[in-house]
Amino acid sequence: MTANAVVNGLLLGGLYALVALGLSIVFGVLRLINLAHGEILIGGAYLAYVISEHLGIGPFLALPLAVAAVAVLAYLVQRFLLTGLLVRGAEGALVATFGISMLVQGVFSQEFSSTPKALTSSLSTSGFTVAGVQVRGIYLVAFLVAAALCGAAHLVLTRTRAGLAVRAAAADPATAGLMGIDIRRVYAVTFAVSAAVTAVGGVLLGVTFSFTPDAGIPYLVIGIAVVVLGGVGNVAGTFAGALLLGLVQSLAAAQFGGGYRDLSVYLLFFVVLAVRPRGLFVRRAPA
Amino acid sequence: MTSRLTALLRTPDHRWRLWPGVAAFAVPAAIAAQSTSAFTAYQLDIATTLLAFIALAQAWNILAGYAGQMSLGASAFVGTGAYSAGLLEVHAGLGYGPAVVGAVAAGVALSALLAYPLLRLRGDYFAIGTLAAALALQAWAVNWSFAGGSTGISLPAAGVPGPVEVFQLACAVAAIAMIAAYLVAHSGFGMRLKAVRDNEPAAVGLGVPVFRHRLGALLISGGLSGLVGALLALQQISFEPGGMLGLGWTINALLMTIVGGIGTVLGPAVGAVVVYYLLTKQLESYQTASVIIEGALLIAIVRFAPRGLWPLLIRGAGRLGTLLPRLAHPLQKDAP
């Protein structure tokens, strides 16, 4: 039973890495906690749901369309609303994302009612058993996608010119702007790409679990917990933190019962905030 | 002209005196609390809810507006207050008086508990930490059979005052909150708090103990929110974690304060009237529409009037005040 909890916890952690990656990048580069992050996630799932209903295709074929739509919307929101607010200070933008969260949740309830929806795929029910450990197929897919996306994000941020521009904008926006980097564009593109990654996570989440209009908020907190564990803007740390969180949650649920699944996340979050507020995997305090 | 009009209200060094503000809140509250026979039970209930929201928004305003600590955990404090009052009545057999006092103490205690992990960190961690605290308390209450689990608590009949008494308590709670905001806004403590909010390094340089001031604001806000929680518990009589520890309180406190005017004394009250009475209440049968409108309103306020409606009104009135005399005497327009 423990082996089961460990393996499934780690795989669930892969899903949490997808939930947290976009949040971590936006927090690291824009210095903004995006309170509408959960709604972007659930929005990806709802869009995939609508597309697969209308076109009669499976959720994985609907995924690219849903992700593209979320990215375009996110680009526009960042370019025409959030960047202008960020210039004035972090608080206005934080409150604006809270407003977006409310607005989008309202639209979800209006369109889809509060009955849980799910993306149906053969993967969500299929599974296999390795050495006595039962694994759902979608968990494994989500884990592999998460590992690939985290690896890709790490490579883009560290090995490309675009990644260099993003890191420069994160470290010192004013100086980066003087060096000819268009900060507004970097912010908008970063936000859009993060939203796209988040939407991928949302679609996989929708295949794994059912979702409701207000399902985003708990995932926002899971994402924040992962970011706090892994260190802000640290892609490798995010992946490691997500695995740790999935593991803790799974073990807590196996040990104390399902009611403690969420409570364990919040407790871990507080302990880390109190003891190591810069994250578990940071050796030196960044300047 | 203006200085002569307000001379009585100011000290010799032109600071606002305290008593007119206190009177401005206390007199209407006292009148309202005495004239309960003029209202029906339904109107009393609406008025009680509105007053509770005014007090809650004000508690949030003291923390977010004056101390600059954006909290997303208002529901944690409200729920803690309500559950403390409820548990004291159900399990300790206390009357509602001691239960209300216990609720305030519980709100203060929760603030003190959260201060250590959260107050030392950057502002946005505080926001998200308080959100996690609120969700954690909700998850705990659902699993805690002593507090009724997911079905919640029903107060014993002996511990529930009538609607008139609850309304009078609401008047007192709202008055306490307004006076607390007024004191914070105009005291030395409030001045230093605003200095920390606006320029922390400068405040530190002038010798302001930052942590102690933020802690003070958090304790005041937590105690007030706990008080509001006890009031809501007495009003609702039976409650469960989904409602009493739900994010609705946080959303409303934030929305009302920012719409009305964050960091002003009267703004949260204006915002509570606008959001609760003009929006939520009127759109009661279209709940999703009201959430959409409120979200859009919040974005619009942050984007176009970040100081809120009340300062906007004041400024508009001030402009009108300078414009009208000019229109009456067009020749003096260019006079210095």
At A5-39, the pLDDT tens digits run: 888 899 999 999 999 999 999 988 888 889 999 99
Residue B275 at interface with chain A, using a CB cutoff of 8 Å: no
Q: Which of residues 52-111 of B touch A (CB under 8 A)?
A: 68, 70, 72
Contacts of A30 in chain B (CB under 8 A): none
Q: Which of residues 277-336 of B touch A (CB under 8 A)?
A: 288-289, 291-292, 294-299, 302-303, 306
User: What gap in Å lies between CA B233 and CA B152, rounded to an integer?
Assistant: 11
Tokens describing residue A271: 């302990």
The secondary structure of residue B7, as a DSSP letter, is G
Contact A17, A242 (CB under 8 A): yes
Contacts of A270 in chain B (CB under 8 A): 117, 129, 132-133, 136
Tokens describing residue B142: 């659902």
Using pLDDT thresholds of 50, 70 and 90, give the confidence band for residue A276. Answer: confident
Tokens describing residue A39: 């709604």
Residue A286 at interface with chain B, using a CB cutoff of 8 Å: no
Cβ contact B291–A106 (<8 Å):
yes
The secondary structure of residue B150, as a DSSP letter, is G
User: What gap in Å lies between CA A187 and CA A170, rounded to an integer?
Assistant: 9
For position B16, what pLDDT does the model report? 62
Q: Hey, where are the domains in chain B?
A: 17-246
How deeply is B210 buried, as exposed, middle or buried, from its count of CB atoms within 10 A (0-12, 13-18, 19+)?
Answer: middle
| Helix (H) or strand (E) run with residue A133 in it | strand A133-136
Give the CA distances from residue B59 to residues A171, B74, B119, B232, B288, in Å, rounded to whole numbers and listed in that order: 36, 9, 17, 15, 27
Q: What is the sign, positive or negative, of the torsion defined by CA atoms of B129, B134, B136, B137?
A: positive
More confident residue, B87 or A234: B87
In chain B, which residue's Cα lies nearest the Cα of A214? B247
Q: Is A277 helix (H, G, I), strand (E, B) or coil?
A: coil
Give the CA distances from residue B309 to residues B200, B259, B315, in Å, rounded to whole numbers and listed in that order: 27, 6, 10
According to DSSP, the residues that pair with B153 across neighbouring strands are B239
Q: What residues have CB less than 8 Å from A52, skipping those under 6 apart? A: A58, A59, A61, A62, A119
| Helix (H) or strand (E) run with residue A124 in it | helix A122-125
Q: Which of residues 165-224 of A touch B (CB under 8 A)?
A: 217-218, 220-221, 224
Give phi and psi for B187, each to the nearest 5: -95, 170
Closest-CA residue to B66 (of B202, B171, B173, B187): B187
For position A42, what pLDDT does the model report? 95
Of A120-134, B108-122, B185-199, B228-242, the one with minimum mean pLDDT is A120-134
Give chain A's length: 287
Percentage of residues in chain A having pLDDT higher than 90: 41
pLDDT digits (tens, 9 = 90+) for A193-238: 999 999 999 999 999 889 999 899 889 989 988 988 887 778 888 9
For position B1, what pLDDT does the model report? 43
**CB nearest to B121's CB, from A85, A217, A273:** A273
User: What gap in Å lies between CA A23 and CA A150, rounded to an integer?
Assistant: 13
For position B129, what pLDDT does the model report? 85
For position B33, what pLDDT does the model report? 67
Residue A267 at interface with chain B, using a CB cutoff of 8 Å: yes
More confident residue, B42 or B331: B42
Q: What residues have CB less than 8 Å from A256, skipping those under 6 apart? A: none
Give phi and psi for B2, each to the nearest 5: -60, -40
Strands B238-239 and B153-154: antiparallel
Using pLDDT thresholds of 50, 70 and 90, give the confidence band for residue A286. Answer: very low
> Is the reported ipTM for this assembly greater than 0.90?
no
Of B152-161, B279-288, B319-328, the one with minimum mean pLDDT is B319-328
More confident residue, B148 or B270: B270
The answer on pLDDT for B336 being more than 60 is no
User: What number is the average pLDDT over the span B16-23?
Assistant: 64
Cβ contact B131–A221 (<8 Å):
yes
The answer on pLDDT for A253 being more than 90 is no
The answer on pLDDT for B327 being more than 90 is no
More confident residue, A275 or A150: A150
For position B36, what pLDDT does the model report? 66
**CB nearest to B247's CB, from A88, A217, A259:** A217
Q: Please, what is the end-to-end C-alpha distance for chain A in angstroms?
A: 45
Tokens 């209009």 correspond to A213
Predicted structure pTM score: 0.86
In chain B, which residue's Cα lies nearest the Cα of A33? B124
Long-range contacts of A135-140 (CB under 8 A, 24+ apart): A135/A7, A135/A8, A135/A11, A136/A8, A136/A11, A136/A208, A138/A204, A138/A207, A138/A208, A139/A8, A139/A11, A139/A12, A139/A14, A139/A15, A139/A208, A140/A11
The answer on pLDDT for A287 being more than 50 is no
The mean of the pLDDT values for chain A is: 87
Query: How many Cβ pairs closer than 8 A exist between chain A and B?
Result: 117
More confident residue, B281 or B21: B281
pLDDT digits (tens, 9 = 90+) for A53-95: 899 888 888 899 999 999 999 999 998 888 888 877 778 888 8
Percentage of residues in chain B having pLDDT higher than 90: 42
More confident residue, A279 or B118: B118
More confident residue, B265 or B122: B265
Q: What residues have CB less than 8 Å from B13, skipping those under 6 apart? A: none
**CB nearest to A103's CB, from B125, B131, B296:** B296
